[in-house]
A and B are shown apart, each in its own frame.
Chain A
Amino acid sequence: MIRRTFVFASAAAVVALWCAPVAGQSRTSDGQPDIQGFWANQTHRLATYNIEGAADPVHVLLSGNPTDETSLIVDPPDGKIPYQPWARARREDVLDHHTNITKWEHVDPHTRCFLSGIPRMFYQGSFQILQPPGYVVILQEFNHGTRIIPLDPRPHVGNDITLWMGDSRGHWEGNALVVDVTNKNDKTWFDIVGDFHSDQVHIRERFTILSADRIDYQATFEDPKVYTRPFTIALTFGRTVKGDEAKNYELFEEACHEGDHDTQEMVRRLQP
């Protein structure tokens, strides 16, 4: 009984913590905790190379500095994506060939100016959050990627529709924005070395506001076609510009495809 009471008390404390207003947290006109402004990932900043954590040989070669070798994956504890054997083999093939491509399947979608997908949009450059009534809108500077997250309880789009940035539905739980993502296509990667999901992936994101300038982000990926169990990625977002500085700051148009010459070069190499 004492033990049960303790569990309940703990659960209540956790709920209270979730719902407790962050000091100085202002609200939007429709009552959302206001997180508008410019943000970027601040943990493992070179994670876009390999989210399982590994030194980037090209970066080391160019800069002489080692890269961050910490995995973004907090669950499972070994920091590895729980791939099914065939999927691990596919990913290792990309890892082995990503600096020496022999087929289109080795080419990073970012190189071809395709959208980042989720969660890569959060560690490829900075992003801006807008909160118009009933929505959270995220604008990524790289390749002008966008996400529209409606906060009403409308259902997801039909199963036959796949989207580059998925179909997002969000709601606030106290100081946490919880987003459910389905209808994701299978054409984006997590990083340069080919970590991937299928079009059956179900993503559950949680943006927890820790202070006016810090958001903890966790996303769980469930995909029975590719993984043996779900896994979770953790990032920390910080503001890139604050206060008055933010009033004179803006994202610029980054027209990736329009300036892309890499793809033509790859066409020449791969389709002689």
Chain B
Amino acid sequence: MLRALTAPASGQILRGTINRKAFEDVQRRFRYVLVVAVVSSVASAPISAQLRTDSPPAYKAPRTADGKPDLQGVWQALNTAAWDIQDHAAGLGVPAGQSVVEGNEIPYQPWAAARKKDNFEKRLTEDPIAKCYLPGVPRITYMPHPFQIFQTPGITAILYEYDHAVRTIYTDRPHLPGHIDFWLGMSRGHWEGETLVVDVIDFNDKTWFDAAGNFHSDALHVVERYTRSGPDHIAYEVTIDDSKVFTRSWKMNMTLYRRQEQNIQLLDYECNALAEEAAGRLK
């Protein structure tokens, strides 16, 4: 969704948060102008990573045998969200990076903001990844490892190299009743035109969004939107809702890139086994 637009417009740089309703008004009235602005910005390098648009996707993805947009292949995020989903300077072993959070603000309730700060201070030991736990959703998407999407009628399966994590996203049935604690939640998908929309609930409260201590409760509700934006790109948008921790819902946006190597395939990263090996307990 368009929240921040960075595009050359009339020789000026338009930057920052735009009131959403106001923007939509502008968009309705000046869609053509906007398209020209976007196209001209795309045509002129460098292109800002922050470029986002509410317009219907211009790209129409190839279809699977049962007529759904084809998301299959080996993909990977190319950003620093696994370390910190917000703007951050470099640290030792941590590349600097720009926010994938819309507006760079996570609307914590006051107690939760304090807890996040505490998490950050203890991050080297308390990050669930440091204990080799499954990363949760959406963090599994932007771990610095590839993942592969497979589609069969009624199922979109995502297999991740990190910790041999797997999500079987059924697109033909509703969620099961009751709260069940899962590390990766329970995923149900449906198609909206070019977009696979995945509704994820039934989380536990033990995963973080990143290595900087951003966290959630077991009331977390994640909605992911996977939209092919070109032959080798997926626009990935995530809406986060958690009434126990945040004051409102908020969003992340990023691009997923198709791995181009001819011989690309998932290998493995067995975190707990590697930790045991490092501790001298696995010969």
* Interfacial residues, chain A to chain B (CB-CB below 8 A): 28-30, 36, 104-105, 112-115, 128, 130-133, 135, 137, 139, 144-146, 148, 150, 154, 157, 161, 163-165, 187, 247-248, 250-253, 255, 257-258, 260, 263, 267, 270-271
Q: Does B198 contact A (CB under 8 A)?
A: no
Q: Which of A29, A104, A163, A267 is B282 in contact with, Cβ under 8 Å?
A: A104
Q: Does B257 contact A (CB under 8 A)?
A: no
Q: Is B272 in contact with A113, judged by CB distance below 8 angstroms?
A: yes
Give the residue name and chain of the A residue nearest to B272 (CB): A257
Give 19 A-B pairs besides A137-B159, A247-B172 with Cβ atoms closer than 8 angstroms.
A29-B64, A104-B283, A112-B273, A114-B272, A115-B164, A132-B152, A139-B166, A144-B166, A145-B164, A163-B267, A164-B270, A187-B273, A250-B168, A250-B170, A252-B180, A257-B271, A258-B183, A263-B276, A267-B281
Q: Does B173 contact A (CB under 8 A)?
A: yes
Can you spell out 27 A-B residue pairs with CB atoms less than 8 angstroms apart? A29-B64, A36-B152, A104-B281, A105-B283, A114-B270, A115-B270, A130-B150, A132-B150, A132-B151, A133-B72, A137-B150, A139-B157, A139-B166, A144-B166, A146-B164, A148-B159, A148-B266, A157-B267, A161-B267, A163-B268, A164-B273, A187-B273, A250-B170, A252-B180, A258-B133, A258-B134, A263-B276
Q: Does B148 contact A (CB under 8 A)?
A: yes
Q: Is B134 in contact with A255, judged by CB distance below 8 angstroms?
A: yes
Q: Which label, helix, strand, loop or mixed, suits the secondary structure of the B interface?
A: loop
In the assembled complex, the Cα of A36 lies from the Cα of B184 at a distance in Å of 23
Give the residue name and chain of the A residue nearest to B270 (CB): A164
Contact digits for B184-218, partner A, Cβ 8 Å, 1 yes 0 no: 10000000000000000000001000000000000
Q: Which of A29, A30, A137 is B157 in contact with, Cβ under 8 Å?
A: A137
Give the residue name and chain of the A residue nearest to B281 (CB): A104
Give the residue name and chain of the A residue nearest to B157 (CB): A130
Return chain A residues, CB-CB under 8 Å to B180: 252
Q: Does B165 contact A (CB under 8 A)?
A: yes
Q: Does B120 contact A (CB under 8 A)?
A: no
Q: Is A247 in contact with B65, judged by CB distance below 8 angstroms?
A: no
Give the residue name and chain of the A residue nearest to B149 (CB): A132
B interface bracket (residues with beta carbon within 8 Å of A): 35 or more
Return chain A residues, CB-CB under 8 Å to B150: 130, 132, 135, 137
Return chain B residues, CB-CB under 8 Å to A133: 64-65, 72
Contact digits for B123-165, partner A, Cβ 8 Å, 1 yes 0 no: 0000000001110000000000000101110010101000011
Contact digits for B15-34, partner A, Cβ 8 Å, 1 yes 0 no: 00000000000000000000
CB distance from A185 to the nearest CB of B (A): 9
Give the residue name and chain of the B residue nearest to A36 (CB): B152
CB distance from A132 to the nearest CB of B (A): 4
Return chain A residues, CB-CB under 8 Å to B157: 130, 132, 137, 139
